[in-house]
A and B are shown apart, each in its own frame.
Chain A
Amino acid sequence: MTPAERMAVAFARVLRGAALKVPTDSVLAFVEALGTLGVEQRADVYWAGRATLVRHPEDIALYDTAFAAFWDEMRDAPVPVDREQVDLAADLADDSDNDDGDDDDVAGDRPERPTVALRWSTAEVLRHKDFATYTETELRDAQLLMQELRFIGPPRRSYRLRPDRRGRRPDLRATMRASLRAAGEPIDRRWREPGDRLRRLVLLLDISGSMEPYARAMLRFAHAAVSGRQKVEAFAIGTRLTRMTKELESRDPDTALARAGTRVHDWSGGTRLGECLRTFNDQWGVRGMARGAIVVILSDGWDRGDPELLAEQMRRLRRVSHQVVWVNPLKVTPGYAPLARGMAAALPFVDDFVEGHSLAAMQELARVIADNRSRDRRRTPK
């Protein structure tokens, strides 16, 4: 092995130990890069690795830590890697692809449709039962019912044209082909029209203490939505914002939940709704993810932060999104008025305010999403 190869393999091992995903072809690129830059200069090796092994800005901090440890260890070999760093590595979740073969295998073992059909009575009882009073078994049963729910919002117009006999834009390519048969006379004209595309669905799930019983049900709900639809993004809101889309992509709900659980560190903590929404808007939403999307926020609106901030962030979110739906499981409580400060601050910017405590309420949510009327309401000036 050349020094470059030795170094690349050793460093890749350190990075993998730190839970960074390092595919083999990246290591090969790293070897090549070291081959042209040399392995003597710290800066050269550092930047060679940054360009070939790091692919997400979030990983840079982890890379820096791992690199520092690695380089120091290289210089004076006997020093072991800092214990603390190993712990840190374990704490940072693995942002790995879920589209690898493993998940499919797991899913393959399961029957396509659940073989045990729920008895109607069970289903009927579950439909109106509050999620907070569910047992573990009931939750699993409810999962089967949830799979029936599909959150297909109103489509938006795509920019991609597709053939359409009643279209209004000439399809020259097809017309050309057809006219060959008529010796160059474009008798048979072909047309195109823009197709439809599904809107992105963005779920923001509150996982704070007051929402704990619902959060579990909600996560399953999110999972059903994510695996049943193409474009769904899911985030957890707690003391901070955590993206869960990748964790929820796997087809097996339990694995997905376990993964999402390890990813989200602040289960049952307090909520900073305003700050989390701000992070979402800054890093994802306003940049593009929420543009033209249907945003569903599942929360009781208890916010420890500044209501001003929450209102401001809701305003931003509303400006870019297609529809904002707020699901509040407490809405069903008799005598409930949205008194939580956060809820009151957010309400003016919500298109639809629905319950979320039971399956029936979830069905109502699905209906609200599929219905375009809230958007029309928005267009009429208040």
Chain B
Amino acid sequence: MAVMPISPADVASALTMHGYIPDDGLATAVYLSMTLRRPLLLEGEAGVGKTEVAKVLSRWTGGELIRLQCYEGIDVSQAVYDWDYGRQLLHLRAAEATGESRSLTTSALEAQLYQEQFLLQRALLQAVSHQGDVAPVLLIDEIDRADDEFEAYLLEVLSEYAITVPELGRFAATRPPLVVLTSNRTRDVHDALKRRCLYHWVQHPDFEREVQIVRLRVPQVLDRLARQVAAAAETMRSLNLYKPPGVAETIDWAQALAALGRSDIDEHVVEATLGAVLKYREDQDRVRQHGVATLVRHALERGAVG
């Protein structure tokens, strides 16, 4: 049975139960996307949890997660469908060997080849031709990496939820998939595609929400440590870094600290695990310039409150 939320608050609690703590804006956007049946375009810095939204939607609704990772040069044969040429050739040879091909016209032989059994369904076609009680969740990841020709094609698929394979005919979705598109904004996605979608700019979570997220995702971490980690991440974000840590990095860091069996951070362990949060040498230098001791002191103070 398909899940249909009754309010944004309903969405928020369901997502939280399945391991994702959304803010009001995201909960509303997801709610609207589900009730209005429109794709949801999520933009934001890397590591703020855009891709995770699709995964949690799949866990919650029980819909199969179909993921299309975009990259430069992606085309129809990689995103929509392709023919299984090896098997087609074998089929032809078999027809030849049994003498079947002699009794058939070329067009009849060709018709045999372009049947569904030789069709390789890729992500988009899978999502559209999906049979089942629950609509699948289609994740189109990093759309900004694909080129604009592909975007134009996508626009067509997303407005009709149907795909035409010239040799076979039209596939139309019985249950339109829940579509989540993500973009890191390395370039602007075309406005036409944006208009088709609901849009949400995903931001770094505020302190309290980040603490909750860390506690939810890394349950072995004590509340105290979660607060310290979130506070340190918050400070780092204010330091004008090239790549400020996202939630993904905060979680990684908390996991690293938990693996080391720490219940509090100190100068030494922060130094040693800095690579889990900051991936640029310049950023690490900048944090050292700011002072690891200061960072730790502030984090401990912040962690003690509440």
Q: In the complex, are the beta carbons of B198 and A29 less than 8 A apart?
A: yes
A108 located at the interface, meaning its Cβ lies under 8 Å from any Cβ of chain B in the complex: no
Q: For the complex, what is the distance from the CA of A55 to the CA of B181, rounded to whole Å?
A: 13
Contact among A36, A44, A176, A180 for B36, CB-based, below 8 A: A36
Number of A-B contacts (CB under 8 A): 113
Q: In the complex, are the beta carbons of B73 and A47 less than 8 A apart?
A: no
Q: How large is the interface on B (under 10, 10 to 19, 20 to 34, 35 or more residues)?
A: 35 or more
| A184 / chain B contacts, CB cutoff of 8 Å | 89, 91-93, 95-96, 101
A269-327 residues with Cβ-Cβ distance < 8 A to B are 281-282, 286-289, 291, 312, 316
A160 located at the interface, meaning its Cβ lies under 8 Å from any Cβ of chain B in the complex: yes
Q: For the complex, what is the distance from the CA of A112 to the CA of B110, rounded to whole Å?
A: 48
Given contacts A37-B8, A44-B28, A176-B85, contact A288 B92 (CB under 8 A): no
Q: In the complex, are the beta carbons of A57 and B186 less than 8 A apart?
A: no
Q: In the complex, are the beta carbons of B109 and A158 less than 8 A apart?
A: no
Q: For the complex, what is the distance from the CA of A225 to the CA of B38, rounded to whole Å?
A: 38
Given contacts A57-B43, A287-B186, contact A50 B71 (CB under 8 A): no
B238 located at the interface, meaning its Cβ lies under 8 Å from any Cβ of chain A in the complex: no
Q: In the complex, are the beta carbons of A29 and B101 less than 8 A apart?
A: no
A51, A173, A291 interface centre (most CB from chain B within 10 Å): A51
Q: For the complex, what is the distance from the CA of A289 to the CA of B88, rounded to whole Å?
A: 42
Q: In the complex, are the beta carbons of A36 and B32 less than 8 A apart?
A: yes
Q: In the complex, are the beta carbons of B28 and A47 less than 8 A apart?
A: yes
Given contacts A26-B195, A33-B36, A289-B187, contact A50 B200 (CB under 8 A): yes
Of all chain A residues, which has the CB nearest B84? Answer: A172
Q: For the complex, what is the distance from the CA of A54 to the CA of B91, rounded to whole Å?
A: 53
Q: In the complex, are the beta carbons of B106 and A181 less than 8 A apart?
A: yes
B25, B31, B89, B199 interface centre (most CB from chain A within 10 Å): B199
| Per-residue B-contact encoding for A35-63, CB less than 8 Å = 1, 0 else | 01100000110011011101111001000
Q: In the complex, are the beta carbons of A175 and B85 less than 8 A apart?
A: yes
A94 located at the interface, meaning its Cβ lies under 8 Å from any Cβ of chain B in the complex: no
Of all chain A residues, which has the CB nearest B101? Answer: A183
Q: In the complex, are the beta carbons of A173 and B144 less than 8 A apart?
A: no
Of all chain A residues, which has the CB nearest B97? Answer: A184
A381 located at the interface, meaning its Cβ lies under 8 Å from any Cβ of chain B in the complex: no
Of all chain A residues, which has the CB nearest B197? Answer: A55
A262 located at the interface, meaning its Cβ lies under 8 Å from any Cβ of chain B in the complex: no
B83 located at the interface, meaning its Cβ lies under 8 Å from any Cβ of chain A in the complex: yes
Contact among A47, A282, A288, A289 for B24, CB-based, below 8 A: A47
Q: For the complex, what is the distance from the CA of A48 to the CA of B199, rounded to whole Å?
A: 10
| B134 / chain A contacts, CB cutoff of 8 Å | none
Shortest distance in angstroms between A322's beta carbon and chain B's nearest beta carbon? Answer: 15
| B33 / chain A contacts, CB cutoff of 8 Å | 51
Task: Enumerate 20 A-B pairs (CB-CB under 8 Å) in ascending A order.
Answer: A36-B36, A37-B8, A37-B31, A43-B28, A47-B28, A52-B198, A55-B199, A57-B185, A159-B73, A160-B75, A173-B83, A175-B85, A179-B89, A180-B92, A180-B110, A184-B95, A184-B101, A287-B185, A289-B187, A316-B242
Which of A's residues lie within 8 Å of B, judged by CB? Answer: 23, 25-26, 29, 32-33, 36-37, 43-44, 47-48, 50-52, 54-57, 60, 97, 158-161, 172-173, 175-176, 179-181, 183-186, 281-282, 286-289, 291, 312, 316
Which of B's residues lie within 8 Å of A, judged by CB? Answer: 8, 24-25, 28-29, 31-33, 35-36, 38, 43, 71-73, 75, 77, 82-83, 85-86, 88-89, 91-93, 95-96, 101, 106, 109-110, 113, 144, 147, 184-188, 191, 194-195, 198-201, 242, 282
In the A-B complex, the 4 residue pairs with the smallest Cβ-Cβ separation, listed nearest first, are A288-B186, A184-B92, A159-B73, A47-B28
